[in-house]
């Protein structure tokens, strides 16, 4: 199957649809046309730059350059998790909880997949490492952000209930246990829904890309299954780590609820 190369004119035609959507937003007074256009410009610049960088990076296997790019991806993902919180932790905790959780989950599962499942040699080959890590970070970022946001909001709303349980002799993890479980469930809902509807409602991104690039549909489906299983485990591990660290941070060493640690 021949790969069809997109021209700048093809992308311009697609961009006109975004401009039309922005015009509709302005006409209907939705107030999102500026954000929509900025997001379109930002994604265009970022993807083009990443395409150029990866084109050069794929020609080398310098672990230092690959590690630098992976660290940059993690740093941006950690910042995005922080930005999506309605009630943020004070100080470096607002950034560190998300970044550490994603590092523990996404990086470990990516290395496991490359060394044990796909068996790439060397395991840090950028053609495999960067796209796989990017998909894991992107989805884990969403799960961690949703889980942390639910944790801090529910803890703030249920302050009286938590403190009442503490006064009755409950430990900190018991007092916040149900809130912590709800936060974990909310972080896992997006990937659970994605797996439930894959193939019936939509063809996931990686499978669609491989089919458009000429791969056999069955082979594309197998790779998509692998990615979805990795994303699910990464999201679960990342959300679990973030919620555990975040909930422990809400209590001091004497197991008192400390909502002043939130903004």
Question: What's the pLDDT score for residue 3?
Answer: 64
What is the pLDDT, as a whole number, of residue 249? 92
Contacts of 100 by beta carbon, 8 Å cutoff, 6+ apart: 241, 245
Confidence of residue 235 (pLDDT cuts 50, 70, 90): very high
pTM exceeding the 0.75 threshold for the entire prediction: yes
pLDDT at 238: 93
pLDDT at 214 over 80: no
Per-residue pLDDT band at 176 (split at 50, 70, 90): very high
- pLDDT for residue 192: 86
Per residue in 32-84, pLDDT (tens digit) is 889 999 999 998 898 888 888 888 777 777 888 888 888 999 999 999 899 88
Q: Cα–Cα distance between 81 and 253 in angstroms, integer?
A: 26
pLDDT in tens, 77-102: 999 899 888 888 988 898 999 999 99
Question: What pLDDT is stored for residue 1 in this prediction?
Answer: 55
Q: What is the mean pLDDT of the chain?
A: 87
Q: How confident is the model at residue 175 (pLDDT cuts 50, 70, 90)?
A: very high
Q: Residue 242: is its pLDDT beyond 60?
A: yes
Taking 70 as the threshold, does the pLDDT of residue 202 lie above it? no
pLDDT at site 210: 76
pLDDT in tens, 106-153: 999 999 999 998 888 888 888 888 889 988 998 899 999 999 999 999
């Amino acid at each position: 199957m021949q790969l069809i190369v997109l021209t700048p004119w093809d992308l311009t035609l697609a961009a006109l649809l975004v401009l039309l959507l922005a015009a509709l937003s302005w006409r209907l007074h939705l107030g999102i046309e500026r954000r929509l256009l900025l997001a379109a410009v930002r994604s265009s610049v970022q993807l083009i730059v990443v395409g150029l960088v990866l084109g050069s990076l794929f020609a080398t296997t310098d672990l230092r350059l690959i590690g630098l790019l992976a660290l940059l991806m993690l740093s941006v993902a950690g910042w995005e998790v922080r930005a999506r919180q309605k009630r943020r932790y004070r100080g470096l905790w607002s950034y560190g909880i998300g970044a550490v959780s994603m590092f523990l989950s996404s990086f470990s599962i990516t290395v496991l997949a490359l060394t044990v499942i796909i068996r790439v040699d060397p395991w840090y080959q950028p053609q495999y490492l960067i796209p796989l890590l990017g998909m894991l970070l992107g989805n884990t970022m969403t799960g961690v952000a949703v889980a942390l946001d639910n944790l801090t909001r529910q803890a703030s709303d249920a302050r009286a209930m938590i403190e009442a349980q503490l006064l009755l002799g409950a430990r900190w993890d018991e007092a916040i246990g149900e809130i912590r479980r709800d936060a974990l469930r909310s972080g896992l809902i997006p990937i659970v829904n994605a797996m439930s509807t894959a193939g019936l409602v939509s063809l996931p991104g990686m499978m669609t890309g491989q089919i458009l690039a000429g791969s056999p549909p069955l082979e594309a489906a197998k790779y998509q299954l692998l990615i979805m299983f990795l994303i699910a485990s990464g999201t679960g591990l990342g959300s679990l780590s973030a919620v555990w660290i975040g909930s422990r941070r809400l209590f001091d060493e004497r197991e008192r609820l400390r909502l002043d640690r939130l903004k």
